[in-house]
């Protein structure tokens, strides 16, 4: 019940509904994290099993001060841009360690807890979600940067409309009596106000004019057979620091062979080992499987490239 364990994940759906036996939470634009403690110092884990303690020391301090000696809790690390959670703003923190470097960013982070997997040595994963949420509310003394993720009962459609009006990412709908099960589940569903998902970077184009770094990222996703399918190029959403940092990382991954299974009709494309994962927002998929109006939103350090597939509704 302590240490890293695989997290429960929501499935995408285009169906909005209101039901008495479901509850609805705000979908936060951040990075998923598991917090565990077994009598000693709390530990923070990314969804792919990497330790995050040194990157977010203030969250570890808060968990130590505001929680009990033994727990495992699921939540989301976020940064804010005004009143909105912003994955782009969180980017300034995800690669940094050391108090001085972290402080120099000026980016404050918060940890929203929304589920409790164990407490005081008792495994809670078989308990209904509504009971786990009640226990979670009482398990911590919530003060910034530690926050409780509130939910609304029943009224999913009206809450979703309100979420989109406010510019939120969307909602997570959860079956109120569901157990906590590792992996993708239909007991948790994503109601998205915006389209976005992770993609694997397999190459880039040269910069044009005075632009630094590169022109566009060439991105794709894995199909059911493990082949990397090409999804298009992402040429907007970067600042100069990001352009240079990504180019440096991609130069270290350079290879001669095209990693995509499909043709890529870009002149002077450069190929890399398909390891970096980025978050991309877009308006829709075209009939031939390309992204329309894609925009870079940030780099993901919490998902391995091999797990990136095209997200489809269920």
Structural domain span for residue 101: 8-192
User: What total of structural domains would you count in the chain?
Assistant: 2
At 271-310, the pLDDT tens digits run 999 999 999 999 999 999 999 999 999 999 999 999 999 9
CA distances, 69 to each of 45, 127, 226, 275 (Å): 17, 21, 42, 37
* CATH number of domain containing 87: 3.30.470.30
52 and 175 inside one domain: yes
- Rounded to whole angstroms, how far apart are CA atoms 296 and 308? 16
pTM above 0.85, yes or no: yes
Domain boundary among 132, 166, 192: 192
In the predicted structure, residue 183 carries a pLDDT above the cut 60: yes
Q: Is residue 27 flagged as an active site residue?
A: yes
At 116-156, the pLDDT tens digits run 999 999 999 999 999 999 999 999 999 999 999 999 998 99
Domain boundary among 170, 192, 214: 192
234 and 272 inside one domain: yes
- Rounded to whole angstroms, how far apart are CA atoms 102 and 92? 9
Across 14-35, average pLDDT: 96
In a domain, 34, yes or no: yes
Banded pLDDT at 313 (limits 50, 70, 90):
confident
108 and 87 inside one domain: yes
Confidence at residue 286, expressed as pLDDT on a 0 to 100 scale:
95
In the predicted structure, residue 6 carries a pLDDT above the cut 80: yes
Phi, psi (rounded to 5 degrees) for 173: -95, 135
In a domain, 314, yes or no: no
Token match 């530690």: residue? 146
Token match 């998923």: residue? 32
- Closest by CA to 294, choosing from 221, 188, 244, 186, is 221
Say which of 27, 174, 190, 192 is annotated catalytic.
27
């Amino acid at each position: 019940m302590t240490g890293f364990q695989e997290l429960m994940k929501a499935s995408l759906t285009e169906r909005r509904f209101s039901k008495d036996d479901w509850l609805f939470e705000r979908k936060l634009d951040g990075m998923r994290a598991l917090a565990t403690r077994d009598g000693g110092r709390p530990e923070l884990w990314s969804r792919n099993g990497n330790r995050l303690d040194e990157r977010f020391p203030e969250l570890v301090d808060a968990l130590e001060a505001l929680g009990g000696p033994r727990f495992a809790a699921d939540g989301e690390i976020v940064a804010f841009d005004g009143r909105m959670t912003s994955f782009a703003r969180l980017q300034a923190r995800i690669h940094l360690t050391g108090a001085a470097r972290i402080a120099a960013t000026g980016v404050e982070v918060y940890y929203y807890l929304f589920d409790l997997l164990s407490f005081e040595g008792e495994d809670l994963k078989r308990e209904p979600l509504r009971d786990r949420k009640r226990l979670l509310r009482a398990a911590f003394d919530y003060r910034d940067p530690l926050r409780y993720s509130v939910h609304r009962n029943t009224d999913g459609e009206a809450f979703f409309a309100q979420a989109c009006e406010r510019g939120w990412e969307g909602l997570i709908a959860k079956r109120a009596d569901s157990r906590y099960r590792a992996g993708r589940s239909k007991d948790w569903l994503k109601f998205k106000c915006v389209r976005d998902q992770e993609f694997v970077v397999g190459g880039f184009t040269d910069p044009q004019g005075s632009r630094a770094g590169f022109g566009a990222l060439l991105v794709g996703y894995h199909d059911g057979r493990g082949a990397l399918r090409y999804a298009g190029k992402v040429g907007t959403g970067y600042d100069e620091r990001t352009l240079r940092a990504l180019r440096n990382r991609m130069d270290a991954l350079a290879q001669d062979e095209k990693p995509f299974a499909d043709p890529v009709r870009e002149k002077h494309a450069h190929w890399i080992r398909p390891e970096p994962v980025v978050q991309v927002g877009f308006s829709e998929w075209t009939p031939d499987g390309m992204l329309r109006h894609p925009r870079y939103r940030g780099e993901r350090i919490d998902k391995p490239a091999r797990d990136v597939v095209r997200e489809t509704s269920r």
